[in-house]
Amino acid sequence: MLDETRGARCQRCKPYMEQENLDAVVAISPENVLYFAETYIQTQTSIRDRLAIAVMPLASDPAMIACKIEEPTVEAETWIKDRRYYVEAQRSPIALLAEVLQEKHLEGKRIGMELNYLTADYYCELNRLLPQIELVPCSRIFDQVRAVKEMREIKILSRAGLRTVRAIEAAVSMTSVGDSENDLAVRMIKNMFDGGAQSLEFMCLGSGLRSEMAHCSPDPSVALEDGSVIHLDFGGKFDHYTSDISRGILIGRRNPKHEDIYKRLTDCYVNGIEQLKPGVRACDIYHFTKAQFEKAGIPFTMSLVGHGLGIGVHELPMLIPSEPKALETDMMLCYEIRTIVDGHRYHIEDLIHITEQGCEVLSQPELDTSMLWIQPDLL
């Protein structure tokens, strides 16, 4: 189990920084500011130019930069002692960052930045203010540090996954043929908040031929049709960590065609889950899964068959053909597979904990591979 002392996460970056010859790494995305500075700034996502920044030098103390309006939150939450604030629309956060880097004698050094989050205008501004600086990508370092979870994170994610499954199942059990897609979605969402979610991450729900859309929004004017099927991919945030669950749902009278495809899909799923253990390479899981689909005779069109889950929705390990890294104990991931047959999408996804011995399906301890079922009303 990883050390959970405040600041320990920052320390865990240092071997990577030495390896890549970096004098500092700078966290700037909402996920990494939350993870490393341990402060949650709600508006980082909705008001993107309101930057929050954690500067973590190799050889000196870290510093935190945030918008003045967030001062009471940051003061109450972060463990970082050096905290600076800029007044929005009056001073650029990048000007303040340049000042901090200069104070720490980092203005001509090699600095790891989240270049897949920092926007081009801020990037150009920083290069203009500190022309000697060398900015290199460092997201992969943060991704690697975050990939193996602490016990506290495993508990939160586990609870989030289970409660999401329960929110889904309870909503399905309260729904009738003929209700709208939106009726079902709203029931799930309300259950999520009753179950302790702080926000919704995504709600993708489409019935019938609308299921072909991977990220379909539920429609209040579309009724759930007898004999058809629903594609669902649903997640929320619990204590800042994400849940992400998919299920196939049958509507009304059972339809052997849908059930046959779902059965083939979930057979692949069960076989795939058996492969998940420390030491197995992410790319090999992808190729194994692809081969299973061929055996099962269902179309395979996925560019990924799973992804790590944590504060973010897609974390390491990414189960993609180009990822040679192996799974490790205490990684948390979603294994997810789906197929499209005759315009209908079938999809299953659960939360999985990689253990020393293999893995545990946390969101479904007793693996049930039958579709959820909106039962026909009794007459």
Q: Which of 1, 3, 81, 196 binds a second copy (CB under 8 A)?
A: 196
Establish if 128 lies at the interface with a second copy (CB under 8 A).
Answer: no
Q: Which of 193, 253, 287, 291 binds a second copy (CB under 8 A)?
A: 193
Establish if 2 lies at the interface with a second copy (CB under 8 A).
Answer: no
Q: How far is the CB of 125 from a second copy (least distance, A)?
A: 10
Tokens 């009738």 belong to 176
Helix, strand, or coil (residue 28):
coil
Query: Residues 6 or more apart from 163 whose CB is under 8 A from it?
Result: 192, 195, 196, 197, 238, 243
Within residues 23-52, the interface with a second copy by CB under 8 A covers 40-43, 45-49
Residue among 122 and 262 whose Cβ is closer to a second copy: 122
CB of 41 closer than 8 Å to CB of 54: no
Residue among 140 and 257 whose Cβ is closer to a second copy: 140
Residue among 104 and 187 whose Cβ is closer to a second copy: 187
SS3 letters across 280-345: CEHHHHHHHHHHHHHHHCCCCCCCCCEEECCCCCCEEEECCCCCCCECCCCEEEEEEEEEEECCEE
CB of 374 closer than 8 Å to CB of 227: no
Residue among 121 and 328 whose Cβ is closer to a second copy: 121
Q: How far is the CB of 128 from a second copy (least distance, A)?
A: 13
Strand ranges, E, within 21-67: 24-27, 53-57, 63-67
Stretch in the footprint of a second copy (CB under 8 A) among 13-21, 101-109, 202-210, 258-266? 202-210
Establish if 215 lies at the interface with a second copy (CB under 8 A).
Answer: yes
Helix, strand, or coil (residue 126):
helix
Q: How far apart are the C-alpha atoms of 337 and 272, rounded to whole Å?
A: 9
Residue among 118 and 352 whose Cβ is closer to a second copy: 118
Q: Which of 118, 172, 268, 285 binds a second copy (CB under 8 A)?
A: 118
Establish if 221 lies at the interface with a second copy (CB under 8 A).
Answer: no
Stretch in the footprint of a second copy (CB under 8 A) among 17-25, 93-101, 271-279, 316-324? 316-324
Residue among 67 and 154 whose Cβ is closer to a second copy: 67
- Would you put residue 130 in left (φ > 0), alpha (ψ -120 to 50) or beta? beta
Q: Which of 147, 189, 265, 311 binds a second copy (CB under 8 A)?
A: 189
Helix, strand, or coil (residue 94):
helix
Establish if 70 lies at the interface with a second copy (CB under 8 A).
Answer: yes
Q: How far apart are the C-alpha atoms of 217 and 36, rounded to whole Å?
A: 33
Establish if 212 lies at the interface with a second copy (CB under 8 A).
Answer: yes
Establish if 295 lies at the interface with a second copy (CB under 8 A).
Answer: no
Phi then psi for residue 85, to 5 deg, are: -130, 140
Residue among 181 and 330 whose Cβ is closer to a second copy: 181
By rule CB under 8 A, what count of residues binds a second copy?
Answer: 62
Helix, strand, or coil (residue 105):
coil
Return the half-sphere exposure (C-beta side, CA atoms, 13 A cut-off) of residue 180: 9
Stretch in the footprint of a second copy (CB under 8 A) among 86-94, 102-110, 253-261, 360-368? 86-94
In angstroms, the Cα distances linking 148 to 34, 56, 353 are 16, 20, 10
Query: Residues 6 or more apart from 5 whose CB is under 8 A from it?
Result: none
Q: How far is the CB of 1 from a second copy (least distance, A)?
A: 26
| Residues making contact with a second copy (CB under 8 A) | 40-43, 45-49, 68-70, 72-73, 76, 87-90, 113, 115-124, 135, 137, 186, 189-190, 193-194, 196, 198-204, 212-218, 220, 303-304, 312-314, 318, 320-322
